[in-house]
Amino acid sequence: MGILLSILAGFFISLQNVTNATIGSEVSTWTTAMITQAVGATGAFIIYLFSKKNRSFGLNKVKPIYLFGGSFGAIVVASSVIAVTYVGATISNSLILLAQLGIVIMIEAFGLFDLKKQQIAAKQWAGLALMMLGAVFISL
């Protein structure tokens, strides 16, 4: 299930980057980010209302600093809107994926954000290097 949902997330991230760039060509970057975040929040709230799982918000259990994580979404949207207009969707998405993998390896290696510290194997570093090489080939 985790693999399927990860593929689904990647699919929708790519669609979101392209549709956001299209919106951004008509309105400002930050208007695009605001629209995207508002529509996403509305959609999540509707799904929440129909969800049978954990009906309470449980915000009192969350460290306050982590509540700002959603604001990163606005930066993601704004950055991808601008990036797609400069380098196109393919290069933009490949670099986004590369950055995601690189930062999550560091987060796990150092056990940041209350995640369990993970030993990063040589094959994972090799995978990151291969992705870097792939990003170079895609950009040629």
Mean pLDDT by 10 residues, the chain (140 residues): 89 88 91 92 89 70 83 89 90 90 90 90 90 86
Q: What is the pLDDT of residue 1?
A: 87
Q: Phi/psi at 46 (nearest 5 deg)?
A: -65, -45
Alpha helices for the chain (secondary structure H): 2-24, 29-50, 71-87, 89-110, 122-139
- Residue spans per domain, the chain: 1-83, 88-140
The structure's pTM equals: 0.76
